[in-house]
Amino acid sequence: MLIIPAIDLKNGQCVRLRQGLMNDVTVFSGAPEKQARHWLDQGARRLHLVDLDGAFAGAPKNREAILAILQEVGNEIPVQLGGGFRSLDTIEAALDAGLRYAIIGTAAVKNPGFLRDACSVFAGHILVGLDARDGKVATDGWSKLSGHEVVDLAKKYEDYGVEAIIYTDIGRDGMLSGVNVQATARLAEALSIPVIASGGLSSLADIDALCAAEDKGIFATIAGRAIYDGSLDFREAQARADKSAA
């Protein structure tokens, strides 16, 4: 089980939101590239970036911060980024800059043809972020709730050739209330591609529960607020996950 530190970007800063609300923000660092280096030094094997401004605007907005992180990380570990990918040109530019995986969220729901094209042109580099509340997929930076069921959309995207699904339970994101392991495992069981859990990670108990469901197809989990406020030690969490797999 891979523990992936999240770096959420807003106005060039590393922040965390509660339940995706842009007005409920905590700033953790004014130098995101230094935060990226910190997680590398702690043993991170992948980084998860989110351009929060881009997610709402529909186009990348934190380019300088993203480029600084990619330059800092180099080829040491893979970096995945979500928020504002709406065109093939935008994806190409990000991959050329050193990004390993582009995460498509809202555009996957609203324009499935774009997702299909992206999977074809950039095979092996496309992830889909499915953010849900009570099993229904949300879009536009979580501000709108669609009528689509998570499992139904995920199966369709699997057929398109996406590498993995990032599943976020919006109600738990940034709340330190525990990962929705049951819903994540249910989604993973329905697919043959890996699922990355997101939202609510808060303790080693969550790590244990996710590891216990790893055989369902849960490949990794994204760590956010808990590793920033100190309630979960990242190095200890990854060691715990590695020990469970041993």
- Report the distance separating Cα 79 and Cα 65, nearest Å: 13
Identity of residue 90:
T
List Cα–Cα distances, 171 to 9, 124, 212, in angstroms.
Answer: 20, 30, 23
Alpha-carbon distance 167 to 127, whole Å?
Answer: 11
Rounded Cα gap, residues 24 and 41, in angstroms: 29
Specify the 3-state DSSP secondary structure of 29: strand
CB environment 12-35: b (16+ within 10 A), e (fewer): bbbbbbeebeeeebeebeebbbeb
173 given a catalytic annotation = no
Catalytic residue among 131, 169, 173, 206: 131
C-alpha to C-alpha distance for 239 and 59, rounded to whole angstroms: 37
> Is 96 a catalytic site residue?
no
Residues known to be catalytic: 8, 131
